[in-house]
Structure 1
């Protein structure tokens, strides 16, 4: 894997607090699971994103609603504009 550590400072254009928060919650909720294959790990992470993160967890960066609710609101506004 070619992963690099964050180099940003608070207030800089490299500030990635939202991404760091996402990964902190992911690690806390999936825990120290050890998968037998990369495919199993990928499947569990994507399932967690689809089921929990997108439909249950409130995100402060989008007004304390779920990403699913944000998408629905966006599509409703687009339908009204059309």
Structure 2
């Protein structure tokens, strides 16, 4: 996510990438690009609408849009 490939330069993006890979099984190899797009779209929807976040007082970003 950075020019020189240093993950510490963009810790927030790296954290989100890690969550998507581990919690939503996006570390797998997909059969084609469309399968990957569908899986990523579903993971983002779950991340924003189902998964509670500590930064949102254990609500989803969608539930508490003012804190997130």
- Alignment TM-score > 0.5, same fold: yes
Contact 1:18 1:61 in 2 (8 A): no
Two-structure CA RMSD over aligned residues (Å): 2.2
TM-score, normalised via structure 2 length: 0.65
Equivalent position of 2:40 in the other structure = 45
Query: Matches of residues 1-82 of structure 1 in structure 2 within 5 Å?
Result: 3-4=1-2, 5=5, 6-8=7-9, 16-29=10-23, 30-50=25-45, 52-71=46-65, 74=66
Matched length: 62
Structure showing the higher helix proportion among its residues: 1
Unaligned stretches of 5+ in structure 1? Answer: 9-15, 75-82
